[in-house]
Amino acid sequence: MGKRHQACASLSLFGRRDFIQAGALGFLGVGLRDYFKLRSAQAAEKGEPEISCILIWQSGGASHLDTFDLKPDAPAEIRGPFKPIATNVPGIQICEHLPHTARQTDKYAIIRSVTSREPDHERAINYLLTGYVPLQTIEFPSLGSVVSKELGPGHDLPPYVAIPNTFPSYGAGFLGGAYNPFVAGDPNVKGYQVRDLKLPLDVDWQRVDRRRWLLQMVDRRFREIDAGNEAAAVDDYYARAYDLMNSPRAKAAFEIEVEPESVRNQYGRTPMGQGCLLARRLVEAGVRFVTVAKGWLNWDTHGNNFNTLQKALLPELDTAYAALLEDLHQRGLLDRTLVVLMGEFGRTPKVNNDAGRDHWSKVFTVCFAGAGVRGGQVIGASDATASEVKENPIQVEDLLTTIYNRFGIDTTKEYHTPIGRPVKIVNGGKVISELF
């Protein structure tokens, strides 16, 4: 029997698969692997983060004609029933159902000429979040995952957090699970706490330390026989999870219940409202990239578009988005926090027979605020019916290049897939200079 097989036999009590599962799931008696897969050894520590980003994701594709690009002079079957209102910036109008947002217009820029080639949800979401048209052969990494890889964690907090859940195309693709988002859950639920952030009642830190020592001892033996890096990866997952649970800073960042009632109410007692409030707390503590979404495809209003927007989607967004911008501004955080409001496409100019609007990628609207963005302006324009770009087309690649630029990330940098194929961070694109 060879040396390798002898070593394996001597550790028969711990099978290799059992070790991986124990290291990732069992030694603390809590579910670690589900919520924290970050490899600290691969995350480049570059000091304090200068820029963070909050991406408010309108999954399903919000109607540009009924939010930030109304066409009051278009025929009734195009303009719909919503009316434009003045904002706090002369000459800029937005939807009447976004009154709080209208009072914050000096803080954000409206890009009314974004265009995409993908009208299908899954493909469009992937395109908007990765900068690549989807391919069957490669799973490209998302914005947050690239930021996580390039900048690493801030302090002992995860660099990339998804509120409330992770969705398709949020992940790290070929970069690997170490750069997937930390899932924060819904901070609007009663008694909210991050899953497994606290120890079970029957586990104390003395027991955890003993188990950590045991893991390290077993891990050393497996390193002697394992030519790959799975054991090292699990050790890093474990160490990062241990640090997270043992970090007062991390615990404090997620403790949204310590916020005054007036602040929580200002954001709105909704998933979007409390999600934006938690996002503010996280970037304030050092998290680099946070996504906030109401849910999966909530903005996909093929039917009953106007009632759904007026009674549910717009009031929730209006309260949360306006409160986030004002709160970041008051705290001096807006200068270092990029806030991006977007979905995968817009909606059809013509209202369908179900009083809804269908997918429309030829032109739609995205809003940018903070991190040097010059608010109170409109960039680009759609035509008279919001059907096509009229001036200054902004490509999807331009959006991502601009976001990465704020972090100081070179989008021409090449990664390599597991089979060695070189892939640039973004497939082309230019910084939207008008924003700054």
Short-list 107, 133, 111, CA closest to 122: 133
What confidence score (pLDDT) does residue 6 get? 41
What confidence score (pLDDT) does residue 44 get? 38
What confidence score (pLDDT) does residue 279 get? 98
| SS3 annotation, the chain | CCHHHHHHHHCCCCCHHHHHHHHHHHCCCCCCCCCCCCCHHHCCCCCCCCCEEEEEEECCCCCHHHCCCCCCCCCHHHHCCCCEEECCCCCCEEECCCHHHHCCHHHEEEEEEEECCCCCHHHHHHHHHHCCCCCCCCCCCCHHHHHHHHHCCECCECCEEEECCCCCCCCCHHHCHHHCCEECCCCCCCCCCCCCCCCCCCCCHHHHHHHHHHHHHHHHHHHHHCCCCHHHHHHHHHHHHHHHHCCHHHHHHHCHHHCCHHHHHHHCCCHHHHHHHHHHHHHHHCCCEEEEECCCCCCCCCCCHHHHHHHHHHHHHHHHHHHHHHHHHHCCCHHHEEEEEEECCEECCCCCCCCCCCEECCCEEEEEECCCCCCCEEECEECCCCCCEEECCEEHHHHHHHHHHHHCCCCCCEEECCCCCEEECCCCCCCCHHHC
Collect the ranges in the chain with pLDDT lower than 50.
1-49, 199, 201-203, 205, 222, 225-237
What confidence score (pLDDT) does residue 50 get? 80
Q: Hey, what are 239's tokens?
A: 């160490």
What confidence score (pLDDT) does residue 344 get? 98
Domain boundary assignment for the chain: 45-198+261-435
What confidence score (pLDDT) does residue 241 get? 58
What confidence score (pLDDT) does residue 249 get? 82
Condensed to tens digits (0 to 9), the pLDDT of residues 397-409 reads: 999 999 999 999 9
What confidence score (pLDDT) does residue 27 get? 41
CATH entry 3.40.50.700 includes domain 45-198+261-435: no
Condensed to tens digits (0 to 9), the pLDDT of residues 156-200 reads: 789 999 999 999 899 999 999 989 999 999 999 999 988 756 545
Instruction: Tell me what the pLDDT averaged over the chain comes to.
Output: 85
159 in Cβ contact with 407 (< 8 Å): no
